[in-house]
Homo-oligomer: A and B are copies of this chain.
Amino acid sequence: MISKNQIKHVQALHSKKNREHFGLFIVEGVKLVTEFIHNQYYEVKELFAVSDYIHQHKKTLDHCQIRYTEITVDELNKISLLTTPNQVLAVIKQIECSLDVSLLDTSTTLFLDDIRDPGNLGTIIRIADWFGIKQVICSPNCSELYNPKTLQATMGAILRVNIIALDFEQLWPNVKNKPIYGAILKGENIYTERLQNGLIVIGNEANGISESVMKYISHHITIPAANGNGSESLNAANACAIICSEFHRQLNYGYHS
């Protein structure tokens, strides 16, 4: 059974302010929680689950020394942020990743310039994971990584990608000798431009790449639209998906596929 204080504490973590204050966050759902339990970097501080979950995962919980509390579905509803809570909720300690400079040489890297929508941030991390991009650098104004919507949208990719917060200015010394790609409306056609390993900058949903970052872009690229159709833009996450796909294609299957 969960105490009133515990309920209060978990509910407090529904807000960003408290997540930052306590350095904790919430993860929900059987699949995602189980992935966090098995992950070596994240520490599960507390776990609340209905009896079904506990019976099915007792061995893992004991083996990983997870402190857990059995709760009712009603209690889960009280602490959950989901409209349809899914058996288990875990409170997890936030970690701070630091820049892995060696990854900048071996893998394409994303720099997210003020991606503000939590769903977009999460889904971009999921795209990065799919295409083997090992590091995603978020500008300080990006949406919060530990927002429940972001976490849900990553579908576990947060556990496989090194995600760090860094100003472009601070990153610059490490990338100044690499191609820095930025998608703009009138750049080189990504399908015919020969793409290389480097840094890809994804701009804000409404305003694109900020001025302070734009001056560092060495390669301006564009996803060409069909002619004369009147469409003006793609959603930031979709544009990111297309760009990462084309990098993946050229780097793994050859420019002339």
Give a binary string over A209-228; 1 marks a CB under 8 Å from any B CB, 0 the rest: 00000000000000111110
Bound-complex Cα distance A84 to B249 (A): 41
Contact between B130 and A234, CB atoms less than 8 A apart: yes
Given A127-B234, A155-B233: A225 and B132 interface contact (C-beta under 8 Å): yes
Contact string against B for A residues 55-69, beta-carbon threshold 8 Å, 1 for contact and 0 otherwise:
000000000000000
- A225: nearest residue on chain B (CB-CB)? B130
Q: How many copies does the complex hold?
A: 2
- Check if A237 is an interface residue, CB within 8 A of chain B: yes
Is the pair A235, B160 in contact by a Cβ cutoff of 8 Å? no
Q: Are A227 and B132 in contact, CB atoms less than 8 angstroms apart?
A: yes
Chain B residue with Cβ nearest A153:
B235
Tell me which residues from 39 to 82 in chain A have a Cβ below 8 Å from any Cβ of chain B: none
**Which B residue's beta carbon lies closest to that of A194?**
B257
The reply to whether A131 and B255 form a contact with Cβ atoms under 8 Å apart is no
Determine whether A207 belongs to the interface, using a CB cutoff of 8 Å to chain B.
no
Closest 6 CB pairs of A and B: A132-B226, A238-B241, A242-B245, A129-B231, A191-B249, A191-B253
